[in-house]
Amino acid sequence: MNSDSMALVVNDLEVEYRTKGRARVRAVAGVSLQVGRGEIVGLVGESGCGKSTVAKAVVGIERPAAGEVLYRGARVTPISRIGKRPKNQRNLQMVFQEPASSLNPRRSIGSQVADALKFATDLPQAKHEERVRELLDMVGLPKNAHRAYPHQFSGGQKQRACIARALAADPEVLVADEAISSLDASAQAQIADLLVGLVKKLDIGLLFISHDLAVIGEICDRIAVMYLGKIVELGRPEQIWFEPRHPYARALMRSVPRIGRDSFPESLEGEVPDPANPPSGCRFNTRCPFVMDKCRVQEPALIDVEQEDGGTVACWLQEPGAVVDLDTLATEREVASA
């Protein structure tokens, strides 16, 4: 796909945190991805791998140490200089994990949605009330929801209000960071359905970040699997889910229980290394059942593995046009459940 047509482009993004008296942590160590209109891209990986840091850099909360984020073709300005941010970038919106803490408990839902209209759009004040009702209806909240206060809403309803507020800004891309993780199972499914519907209806892009593979696999058009600050594999859900090409992606998929099959929780043994001190070579080499000598020394780059499905993987086992099937290799090497 032509990257000019992409609503959101992340190029070689690096983000560092400085911790007191300790080495710099490169929480994101060279991430590239693109999100087009009408497309849901999932970002998945274990806790601490850098997903939220990617999200924060995308919306300008964290400043990149290197690389860039382009929204509508222009570089995203960090939020500390929000006053200077071009108006057409103010609508780059994020939906957070805890809807309760991202809403002001003392103000009505309607006035909080109206704030976003004021901040990011040119809609005349006289039209705000009507637009607020329209937005709240669009996210499935009842009539008169604009008069309600956050405490009157369930978790799912609060998250709907947060989504309405994000949509008020008329975004081309929405970033949802664990947006359904704090909700109960039925609310999770409902909010996921709502997001899928909105993406198609409004033709917006969605960067959907979650540690929950099952949901990611169900709603995303493409999935990026992150490990220790890097994307190790990116591809279509059915491919990542059933024929992962990166040993980490495979281990992650096998850790999810599925009907008719036992899960393999043991496939993700070992601790995630400290991002302040990542292993040399491939970052997954300390936990990889397929590790080779080369992997401990040289870091593999992301390569396009097969042109037809556009998948990419960063693994020394895989070569363009000659992708190794990991299950076959595991049987050969008898590391199937390692």
What DSSP state is assigned to residue 261?
A: B
315 binds, among ligand ADP, Mg ion, none (CB under 5 to 8 A by kind): none
Binds ligand ADP (CB under 6 A): choice among 9, 10, 27, 220 = 27
| CA 246/CA 314 separation, integer angstroms | 7
If one asks whether residue 30 binds ligand ADP (CB under 6 A), the answer comes out as no
Region of 48-56, 129-137, 259-267, 320-328 interacting with ligand ADP (CB under 6 A): 48-56
Binds ligand ADP (CB under 6 A): choice among 29, 34, 42, 52 = 52
CB of 11 to ligand ADP, least distance (A): 18
Residues 92-151 that bind ligand ADP (CB under 6 A): none
Binds ligand ADP (CB under 6 A): choice among 31, 51, 141, 172 = 51
| Structural contact between residues 229 and 26, judged by C-beta atoms closer than 8 angstroms | yes
| CA 194/CA 191 separation, integer angstroms | 5
If one asks whether residue 53 binds ligand ADP (CB under 6 A), the answer comes out as yes
Residues 62-81 that bind ligand ADP (CB under 6 A): none
If one asks whether residue 180 binds ligand ADP (CB under 6 A), the answer comes out as no
| CA 188/CA 194 separation, integer angstroms | 10
Contact residues for 7 (Cβ-Cβ < 8 A; gap 6+)? 35, 36, 37, 71, 72, 172, 173, 204, 205
Nearer to Mg ion, 51 or 90 (CB): 51
Binds ligand ADP (CB under 6 A): choice among 6, 34, 41, 50 = 50
Structure tokens that stand for 130 in this block: 């009507």
Nearer to Mg ion, 212 or 306 (CB): 212
| Structural contact between residues 9 and 3, judged by C-beta atoms closer than 8 angstroms | yes
CB of 166 to ligand ADP, least distance (A): 19
What DSSP state is assigned to residue 150?
A: G
| Structural contact between residues 104 and 150, judged by C-beta atoms closer than 8 angstroms | yes
Nearer to ligand ADP, 58 or 163 (CB): 58
Nearer to Mg ion, 51 or 250 (CB): 51
| Structural contact between residues 78 and 65, judged by C-beta atoms closer than 8 angstroms | no
Structure tokens that stand for 191 in this block: 């909010």
**CB-side neighbour CA atoms (13 Å) of 244:** 22
If one asks whether residue 47 binds ligand ADP (CB under 6 A), the answer comes out as yes
Residues 258-297 that bind ligand ADP (CB under 6 A): 275
Nearer to ligand ADP, 53 or 239 (CB): 53
Region of 44-52, 78-86, 154-162, 246-254 interacting with ligand ADP (CB under 6 A): 44-52
| Structural contact between residues 211 and 199, judged by C-beta atoms closer than 8 angstroms | no
The residue whose two tokens read 């945190």 is: 17
Residues that bind ligand ADP (CB under 6 A): 17, 19, 25, 27, 45, 47-53, 275
